[in-house]
Amino acid sequence: MPALRAVIFDVGGVLTTSPVLAIRDYAVAEGIDYGILGPLIAEPDSAWSRWERSEISEAEFEALFEQQGRDRGITFSARAIREVAFGSQHVRDEMVAVVEHLRGRVRLGAITNNVLRDDSRPRSLDLHGLFEVVVESAKVGLRKPDPRIYHLACDQLGVTPPESVFLDDIGVNLKGARALGMTTIKVDSTLRAIEELEAAIGIPLPRP
């Protein structure tokens, strides 16, 4: 197995609290079937996915996403869900500290499914200050788990996928990375991911 030379982080749900969990909690509170809404958000050709690839405008997203929901028997406000997703995120200082600790020790990158809005993540989170390479779905027209987005990040970092560790909070995104030979670590609300990363790369990492 090649030596691990790069660590690549997801943003929402890894460097920040999870927008997915915020949407789920909102859906439950509003009586919206998350068993339908959650998969709809994740579908590669859903309005949400197309918006994250910058294929449609925000107005087109709202109209199409609500229609896709009605087609599946649920009714919701796309704008409200968007505001919950973006407005709920808070920086996870313990994960940012890990990134800062690794600077100069390994290559550092981020891959994020995002949209072209300044409020889509906390303003205090300076991705370009933290990482050598930042690959954003809304800028490159690719979205996890498309294998091309992982290859793009690795190419820009000058490593191969098997030389990389990828951290994400979404199983399907990890599966896509793992299929390319990347070492994958699932992130939840605990410190387990930091422990797993430390074991994988052999570098002692800070804890809060």
Q: What is the pLDDT of residues 124-133, one digit of tens each?
A: 899 999 999 9
At residue 119, the pLDDT reads 75
Report pLDDT digits (tens) over 139-186. 999 999 999 999 999 999 999 999 999 999 999 999 999 999 999 999
For residue 122, name the pLDDT band (cuts at 50, 70, 90).
confident
For residue 120, name the pLDDT band (cuts at 50, 70, 90).
confident
Q: Where are the alpha helices (DSSP H) in the chain?
A: 19-30, 34-42, 47-52, 58-71, 78-87, 93-102, 127-130, 137-140, 147-157, 171-178, 192-201
Asked if residue 177 lies in contact with residue 183, where contact means CB atoms within 8 angstroms, the answer is no
Task: Spell out the residues 6+ positions from residue 202 whose beta carbon is closer than 8 angstroms to its own.
Answer: none
Asked if residue 16 lies in contact with residue 92, where contact means CB atoms within 8 angstroms, the answer is yes
Domains of the chain: 6-17+89-201 (3.40.50.1000), 19-87 (no CATH)
How far apart (Å, rounded) are the C-alpha atoms in residues 173 and 186?
A: 10
How far apart (Å, rounded) are the C-alpha atoms in residues 54 and 161?
A: 26
pLDDT over 90 percentage in the chain: 92
- 6 pairs with which residues across the strands? 107, 164
For the chain, report the end-to-end CA distance as a whole number of angstroms. Answer: 31
For residue 193, name the pLDDT band (cuts at 50, 70, 90).
very high
Q: Would you call 61 helix, strand, or coil by DSSP? A: helix
Structure tokens at 34: 């998350």
Contacts made by residues 97-104, CB under 8 angstroms, sequence distance 24+: 97/206, 97/208, 98/194, 98/197, 98/205, 98/206, 99/9, 99/15, 99/130, 99/131, 100/130, 101/203, 101/205, 101/206, 102/7, 102/203, 102/205, 103/130
Q: Would you call 60 helix, strand, or coil by DSSP? A: helix
> Region 30-58: what's the mean pLDDT?
97
